[in-house]
């Protein structure tokens, strides 16, 4: 892969936007997020807090700066979000939900701190596993996000991901979960949010990820799905979520990680995608946006750098496309 290093080179680059990853700027941007408690935006995004920690911590690990956020304080915050039932809320006092519970597990695994659940009398990892397993519908195999009942393949993927990292997949009916995912497959090769729903690359990631964790990628027509996914690349190198939609950095992850899982990442132009992601940086204040020139946020910073890692960008830790965690972390936990 060729990397353009100077500003103004390589198709479509705006004057002055460097085409190198501004590592130090992004580290400073992520560190600054926790010190902005006096800003109104901090409180507006409180419902995302635990996910925000995961979105900040993962790129720091990928950029070889795992200690840029204080480890002990991060663990304290995560554990303060846990409920008696084993699940985690977005912030202390918020209701437990599948998505935050998955983020909590990813953070604890990344920090090698799953043992803290036991040490601090949180019921160990088994209580977390019990919360997740109780959200499976034993008839259909799908998962709810919380006790109120919305179902989504995102929750199914999250459940398999977290339980797999905890070594607790036996708590659920894995065959039923796999059968449900298969029902969400469409004739175009993609997957939707539920059976019969339109294909969307976010749902493709969750369905392919779930099948990868279950060891059932054999159920996928990889050429047909690979064709649909590679059609997501647009002229400027960016990827969209479904036909006729605008490109967005977060789809760099959902599309490219899905392609990587089915062994078809080389079906897109990786150099053009790398250039597109780098153009989404704010080279002054750090962080990445959904597309060039927009406001940065930690969500797109995470998925942009994860995408660059997947594309083999020099100097970044390698990422595991199934778990969206550094590969050295999943290698340690799963011996894979």
* Distant-in-sequence contacts of 13-16, Cβ < 8 A, 24+ apart: 13/275, 13/279, 14/279, 14/292, 14/293, 16/283
Q: Is the dihedral of CA 203, 209, 214, 216 positive or negative?
A: positive
- Return the residue matching tokens 């750090």: 286
- The residue of the chain with the least Cβ separation from Zn ion equals 250
**3-state SS track over 10-40:** CCCCCCCCCCCCCHHHHHHHHHHHCCCCCCH
Q: What tokens were used for 288?
A: 């990445």
Smallest distance, Å, CB 226 to Zn ion?
22
List the one residue from 248, 282, 297, 320 that touches Zn ion (CB under 5 A). Answer: 248
Smallest distance, Å, CB 76 to Zn ion?
30
List the one residue from 21, 177, 250, 306 that touches Zn ion (CB under 5 A). Answer: 250
Q: How many residues of this chain bind Zn ion (CB under 5 A)? A: 3
Q: Where does this chain touch Zn ion (CB under 5 A) — which range of 180-188, 198-206, 209-217, 284-292?
A: 284-292
Contact between 277 and Zn ion (CB under 5 A)?
no
The residues with which 239 forms a beta bridge, in sequence order, are: 233
Smallest distance, Å, CB 321 to Zn ion?
18
List the one residue from 146, 290, 297, 320 that touches Zn ion (CB under 5 A). Answer: 290
Between 185 and 290, name the residue whose CB sits nearer to Zn ion. Answer: 290
Between 135 and 280, name the residue whose CB sits nearer to Zn ion. Answer: 280
C-alpha span between 77 and 104 (Å, rounded): 10
Smallest distance, Å, CB 273 to Zn ion?
15
Dmax of the chain from CA atoms? 57
Smallest distance, Å, CB 253 to Zn ion?
9
Strands 296-297 and 288-289: antiparallel
The footprint of Zn ion (CB under 5 A) covers: 248, 250, 290
């Amino acid at each position: 892969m060729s990397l353009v290093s100077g500003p103004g080179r390589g198709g479509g680059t705006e004057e002055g936007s460097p085409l190198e990853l501004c590592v130090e700027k992004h580290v400073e941007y992520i560190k600054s997020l926790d010190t902005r408690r006096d800003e109104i935006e901090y409180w507006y995004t409180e419902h995302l807090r635990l996910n925000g920690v995961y979105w900040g911590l993962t790129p720091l690990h990928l950029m070889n700066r795992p200690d840029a956020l204080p480890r002990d304080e991060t663990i304290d915050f995560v554990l303060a979000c846990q409920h008696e039932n084993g699940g985690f809320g977005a912030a202390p006092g918020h209701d437990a939900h599948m998505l935050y519970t998955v983020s909590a597990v990813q953070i604890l695994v990344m920090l090698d701190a799953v043992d803290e659940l036991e040490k601090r009398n949180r019921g160990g990892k088994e209580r977390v596993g019990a919360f997740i397993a109780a959200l499976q519908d034993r008839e259909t195999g799908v998962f709810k996000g919380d006790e109120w009942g919305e179902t989504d393949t995102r929750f199914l993927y999250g459940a398999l991901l977290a339980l797999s990292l905890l070594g607790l997949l036996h708590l659920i009916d894995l065959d039923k979960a796999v059968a449900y995912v298969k029902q969400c497959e469409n004739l175009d090769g993609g997957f939707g949010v539920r059976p019969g729903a339109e294909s969307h690359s976010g749902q493709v990631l969750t369905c392919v990820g779930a099948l990868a964790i279950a060891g059932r990628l054999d159920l996928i027509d990889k050429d047909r799905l690979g064709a649909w996914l590679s059609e997501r690349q647009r002229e400027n190198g960016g990827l969209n979520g479904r036909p006729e939609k605008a490109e967005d950095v977060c789809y760099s992850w959902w599309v490219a990680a899905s392609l990587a899982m089915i062994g078809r990442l080389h079906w897109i132009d990786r150099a053009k995608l790398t250039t597109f992601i780098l153009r989404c940086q704010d080279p002054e204040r750090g962080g990445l946006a959904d597309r060039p020139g927009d406001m940065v946020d930690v969500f797109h910073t995470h998925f942009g750098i994860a995408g660059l890692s997947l594309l083999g960008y020099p100097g970044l830790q390698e990422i595991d496309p199934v778990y969206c965690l550094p590969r050295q972390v999943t290698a340690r936990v799963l011996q894979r």
